[in-house]
Structure 1
Amino acid sequence: MSDATFRLESSEGDGDAKDVLVDLAAIVGNNLRRLRVRQGHSLERLAKQSGVSRAMLGQIETGKSVPTIGTLWKVASALGVPFARLIATEGGHRAQVLRRTEAKLLTSNQRQFTSRALFPFDGERQVEFYELRLAPLHREDAEPHAAGTRENLVVAKGAVEISSGSERPVVLSAGDAILFEADVPHSYRNLGVDEAVLYLVMTYVEAVG
């Protein structure tokens, strides 16, 4: 997903989103510091490996800055962990219901792209499930994910062109699916004049703690 500015939104309204944003900054900061220290990285070393400045990493760890979704992908890839590990909270093993009305969305400033996690951020996992929505004629470019990461996409609505690395773009219509390697630059482009809806299953080589 691109490194354009993203923010969290609540399906309930902007008031809830502000509280979520504050909570997210603290959660990401704590998780980043714990993972970095556990792997023996200094801020300088992680900055070189991720391409994210030392100053920005420091602001993220102290909860002073909420990173863009693109920055999170870069840091997660450098640490070799699934994206969700950076925004995970502790949780139990009982059934969890994720109400649509309570969903928190990662949304671009222009609202041309939204990503809704269809799983709880409650610990390490090897598979993640997302709902993606693309505005008419919008193209969303994605950073390479951790080595070995694969994406399995199905189009629920619209016609979408998927590009992955040096492979030829593939056009998918409603009901079509694709499985591809996502550890290379890739993109999703809505070819229609209406919103496109996709469901994404992202699989990592292993769940890293």
Structure 2
Amino acid sequence: MHSPLALVRDPATDSPDGPGAADFSPEALDALEHLVGVNLARLRAERQLSLDALARASGVSRAMLAQIESGRSVPSIKVLCKVAAALKVSVAAFLRRHAVNGFEHLPADRATRLVSSNGRYTARSLYPDAERAAAEFHELRIAPLHTEAGTRRAPGTTVNLVVSEGTLEVSVHDRRQLLATGDAIVFDADQPHSLRNPGDTEARAFRVTLNAEAPPRWDVAPHDSARHTVS
């Protein structure tokens, strides 16, 4: 059967010596089988469904469901879609590590906070940050007349920021944009950038950072032109 990992990386185009090779190691696949199995068992138990009942609802055989739950088989995306539809969840629910109960409560008093400039700048994490995420979500608080330099990220990283209270001046290279309450801005985070609060009250904003995806490793070695000749 095809692993769900095939949607993320095609082993046929990956170098066996490249960074993605470990994703297809026996250990990685065993971990994936276990993760999918644990989540399927949890979701089925929450809905008080027997294997037979889920098999009838999804069209996936009881034997196959039992194999998935026990970690003896990694289902194809087609099978996962059928089971997800029957359980009324997304396919991603089978691949999550952080949500034991199908969701994760993030109490404000336990959130990870980055505090700098003697407390004049605070970034509170609004997402589970135990693992690297494709998107990061932060609440920002900037003291009056304070300027905070942004951290340059990898090429392809994008920031989407919206001001919820006060005003902010966003500088990207030598260009500046003043944002009032409710205004938003999107920019590439691999550039030099900074945030400045020009007002006399604290400014508050919410920032979503979309991390750059690892680009595919294309074969860029010179090819014999004869190989590309169309007869």
Length-normalised TM-score, structure 2 = 0.48
- The residue aligned with 1:101 is 109
What per-residue deviation string (whole Å, max 9, x for no partner) do you get for residues 132-171 of structure 1? 10001100011311111110000000110001124x2000
Aligned residues of 1:125 and 1:207 also touching (Cα < 8 A): no
Aligned residues of 1:145 and 1:182 also touching (Cα < 8 A): yes
- Per-residue deviation at 1:206? 1.6
Structure 1's consecutive aligned runs of 4 or more residues displaced over 4 angstroms after TM superposition are: none
Could you tell me which amino acid in structure 1 is paired with residue 208 of structure 2? V
Aligned residues of 1:159 and 1:173 also touching (Cα < 8 A): yes
Aligned residues of 2:156 and 2:213 also touching (Cα < 8 A): no
Could you tell me which amino acid in structure 2 is paired with residue 202 of structure 1? T
What per-residue deviation string (whole Å, max 9, x for no partner) do you get for residues 53-108 of structure 1? xxxxxxxxxxxxxxxxxxxxxxxxxxxxxxxxxxxxx7345300111122231111
RMSD: 2.1
Matches within 5 A, 1:1-12: none
Unaligned runs of 5+ in 1: 1-37, 40-89
Aligned residues of 1:124 and 1:207 also touching (Cα < 8 A): no
- d(CA) in 2 for partners of 1:99 and 1:92? 14
- d(CA) in 2 for partners of 1:160 and 1:195? 10
- d(CA) in 1 for partners of 2:129 and 2:178? 32
Aligned residues of 1:128 and 1:201 also touching (Cα < 8 A): yes
Q: How many residues end up aligned between the 2 structures?
A: 120
Matches within 5 A, 1:41-56: none
Could you tell me which amino acid in structure 2 is paired with residue 130 of structure 1? H
Choose the corresponding residue for 1:174, options 170, 181, 201: 181
Length-normalised TM-score, structure 1 = 0.53
- d(CA) in 2 for partners of 1:104 and 1:138? 22
- The residue aligned with 1:200 is 207
Could you tell me which amino acid in structure 2 is paired with residue 99 of structure 1? P
3-state SS, counterpart of residue 109 of structure 2: helix
Give the number of the structure with larger relative contact order, counting CA–CA contacts within 8 Å between residues 6 or more apart: 1
Aligned residues of 1:142 and 1:185 also touching (Cα < 8 A): yes
- d(CA) in 2 for partners of 1:109 and 1:143? 14
- d(CA) in 2 for partners of 1:199 and 1:145? 18
Is structure 2 residue 133 aligned with structure 1 residue 133? no
Is structure 2 residue 120 aligned with structure 1 residue 112? yes
Unaligned runs of 5+ in 2: 1-17, 20-96, 216-231
Choose the corresponding residue for 2:192, options 185, 189, 197: 185
Matches within 5 A, 1:76-91: 91=98
Is structure 2 residue 182 aligned with structure 1 residue 153? no
- d(CA) in 2 for partners of 1:204 and 1:178? 17
Is structure 2 residue 170 aligned with structure 1 residue 162? yes
Aligned residues of 1:126 and 1:207 also touching (Cα < 8 A): no
Matches within 5 A, 1:11-90: none
- d(CA) in 1 for partners of 2:112 and 2:209? 19
Higher strand share: 1
Aligned residues of 2:98 and 2:104 also touching (Cα < 8 A): no
Could you tell me which amino acid in structure 2 is paired with residue 102 of structure 1? R
- d(CA) in 1 for partners of 2:145 and 2:105? 33
Could you tell me which amino acid in structure 1 is paired with residue 118 of structure 2? Q
